[in-house]
Amino acid sequence: MDYQFVINSLYDKVSNEPLQGAVANYIPELAKVNPKYFGVALTLTDNTAFAIGNADIKFSIQSIAKVFSLALAYSLIGDEIWQRVNVEPSGTSFNSLVQLEADLGLPRNPFVNGGALVICDILMCQLEDAKSQLLTFIRNLSDNPLIEYSPNIAASEKTNGFRNIALCNFIKSFGNIKNHPNDVLDLYFDLCSIEMSCSELSKSFLFLANNGCKTTDGLKILNYSQTKRINAIMQTCGFYDESGEFTFKVGLPGKSGVGGGIVAIHPNLYSIVTWSPLLNEKGNSVKGIHFLEQFTTETQYSIF
């Protein structure tokens, strides 16, 4: 398979599509991103890497970071984690409060904001300094000591995060947040603020395509079963209330963020990342989905 040829030709094709969608505007840092940016990076499990477009510009990875926090928490407490967060698609938006009351504070999955807040709470209970240890974990996955939180984005998230503040306090009222909600929210906003490029993200997600082991040094991050479960949750819950549609079109597990990034995993084969900040009404990158849909069609590889 000539991957560079495939991504180059699809990149040209999708780049020439008329611009559709809107840049996330709930914080100024996201609203001012150039809507024309478009990058793609693909890394195979043998570490061969391919890239095109703006693949080396760092962007706000937002909810994609929820996979990192989940992986770290899962590696720390194992299956106990499922007593604190469920594994069902929510069918509602990522920041919805409606199901939480009926579900007695048990978030539907780790990728809706309520679930990600509970995962942050778990990390705070398990780690001495969750903020820096989480960053070390991500730097280790990407073999890159330069990955950082963005203090500006984190501060902006905090100033505008009324719904997340409500979610965290609501879950706390059911007893499913153990630390002070303000501290959990701080970690959550830091998590959302991480900036990485397509190439860095593609490399750091490769362990999920390699049965839980890093491909560069063989380090075991998760066991086979844990890796399978995280990929399964990405498949069913990774794209907000468009997860079914993404599975239907692309046929790979993945995770999106409102910064316009999408990561998708082909187990045993590759990790691919697209970034284009223009989002559809569900909060997913329009060009990213178009690109990935054609990529799995063209290569004739998906998990199905």
Footprint on residues 205-234 left by ligand GLU (CB under 6 A): none
Closest CB 283 distance from ligand GLU, rounded Å: 6
| Distance separating alpha carbons of residues 282 and 229, to the nearest angstrom | 24
Closer to ligand GLU by Cβ: residue 62 or 197: 62
Residue in 43, 45, 54, 63 binding ligand GLU, rule: CB under 6 A: 63
Closest CB 94 distance from ligand GLU, rounded Å: 5
Footprint on residues 264-303 left by ligand GLU (CB under 6 A): 283
**Contact flags string 175-194 toward ligand GLU, x per CB under 6 A:** -----------------x--
Residue 41's H or E segment, with its range, is strand 39-44
Is 68 within 8 Å of 141 (Cβ atoms)? yes
Closer to ligand GLU by Cβ: residue 241 or 293: 241
Closest CB 235 distance from ligand GLU, rounded Å: 17
Closer to ligand GLU by Cβ: residue 280 or 297: 280
- Give every CB contact of residue 187 below 8 A, 6+ residues apart in sequence: 120, 123, 124, 130, 131, 134
Closest CB 85 distance from ligand GLU, rounded Å: 16
Go through 72-96 and write b for each residue having 16 or more CB atoms within 10 A of its CB, e for each that does not.
bbbbeeeeebeebbbeebbeeebbb
Closer to ligand GLU by Cβ: residue 162 or 304: 162
Footprint on residues 87-126 left by ligand GLU (CB under 6 A): 94-95, 113
| Distance separating alpha carbons of residues 41 and 53, to the nearest angstrom | 9
Q: How far is CA 165 from each of CA 134, 169, 179, rounded to the nearest angstrom?
A: 21, 6, 14
**Contact flags string 22-61 toward ligand GLU, x per CB under 6 A:** ----------------------------------------
Closest by alpha carbon to 268, among 246, 298, 301? Answer: 301
Which is it for the CA torsion 95, 97, 99, 100, positive or negative?
positive
Residue in 39, 257, 277, 288 binding ligand GLU, rule: CB under 6 A: 257
- Give every CB contact of residue 211 below 8 A, 6+ residues apart in sequence: 224, 227, 267, 268
How many residues belong to the site for ligand GLU (CB under 6 A)? Answer: 11
- Give every CB contact of residue 250 below 8 A, 6+ residues apart in sequence: 264, 289, 292, 293, 295, 296, 302
| Distance separating alpha carbons of residues 27 and 5, to the nearest angstrom | 37
Give me the half-sphere count of Cα atoms (radius 13 Å) on the Cβ side of residue 257.
26
Give me the half-sphere count of Cα atoms (radius 13 Å) on the Cβ side of residue 115.
29
Residue in 142, 164, 210, 285 binding ligand GLU, rule: CB under 6 A: 164
Closer to ligand GLU by Cβ: residue 97 or 303: 97
Closest CB 163 distance from ligand GLU, rounded Å: 7
Closer to ligand GLU by Cβ: residue 164 or 274: 164
- Give every CB contact of residue 48 below 8 A, 6+ residues apart in sequence: 3
Closest CB 238 distance from ligand GLU, rounded Å: 10
For position 258 contacting ligand GLU by CB under 6 A, the verdict is yes
Would you tell me which residues interact with ligand GLU (CB under 6 A)?
62-63, 94-95, 113, 157, 164, 192, 257-258, 283
